Chain A
Amino acid sequence: EDKVVQSPLSLVVHEGDTVTLNCSYEVTNFRSLLWYKQEKKAPTFLFMLTSSGIEKKSGRLSSILDKKELFSILNITATQTGDSAVYLCAVPYGQNFVFGPGTRLSVLP
C-alpha cells in the first residue's frame, strides 16, 4: 500500500530557530514529491522534487530529495511567526496524490 509518513507531527520553536521537517514514502512508480504549506485555509504549493540530491530553494525554505532512501526534508532557516502552518508532503500516483498527515509547526515570538 502506498503511504507517506511525516515527522515530527508537531513542532514548537522560537523565532530565529532552524527547523527540519521529514517526509518518507513508499510509493510504486515514484515520479515526484511535493511540499505544501497549509495555514488556516487551502494548501499552497511550495516545491516539487523529482531528482535526488538537487536542492530546491525559495527564500528561507529549501528542500531536497533522496530517492535511494525514499525521503525528503524541508528546511526552514531563521523561522518567523508567519511560518506557523501545517506542512504537507504528497506523492502522486496516477492522477491522485498520497498525502502525509502533515507537520504542524508553531513558531513563537
Chain B
Amino acid sequence: EAQVTQNPRYLITVTGKKLTVTCSQNMNHEYMSWYRQDPGLGLRQIYYSMNVEVTDKGDVPEGYKVSRKEKRNFPLILESPSPNQTSLYFCASSTWGQADYGYTFGSGTRLTVV
C-alpha cells in the first residue's frame, strides 16, 4: 500500500530533550515536506526536500532540523524542544513537479513539550 509512515504517533517530552520524528514513504517520491498544524493557523511548512541531499526552509523552520540521506526517509529533528513546539506534525510527499496534484500525508505526530 502506498503510504507515508510517521513515528511516533504521540510523544510527550520535556524541554530541551532532543527528539527525532521519523518519516518514510514507499512511493519513490522525490519531494517530501514537514508541516505543523496549530489551531486557527492551518498547516505551515517547516522544511522541505526536493530530493536526496537537497533541503530548504519553509515558513517556520526555527528550532527544527531535517536531513535527506535516502530518498524514502525525511526525519524531523528537534535539537532542544520548547513548549511552543507543541503541535501536530505531518510529513507529506509528492512526485517532483506534481505537487499541484496534492500531497500524500502521513498520519501525524502529536507532540507535547512540557
Contacts and interface: CB of A to CB of B under 8 A. Distances in A.
Interface of A: 4, 9, 31-32, 34, 36, 41-45, 48, 88, 90, 92, 95-97, 99-102
Given A96-B48, A96-B59, 18 more contacts: A4-B42, A36-B102, A41-B107, A41-B108, A42-B90, A42-B106, A43-B90, A44-B105, A48-B100, A88-B43, A90-B43, A95-B31, A96-B99, A97-B45, A97-B99, A99-B44, A101-B40, A102-B42
B103 to A, nearest CB: 8
Given A41-B107, A43-B105, A92 B99 contact: yes
7 contacts: A42-B4, A42-B90, A43-B90, A88-B42, A96-B48, A99-B35, A102-B42
Interface residues of B, number: 24
The 5 closest A-B pairs by CB, nearest first: A42-B105, A99-B43, A99-B42, A45-B102, A101-B42
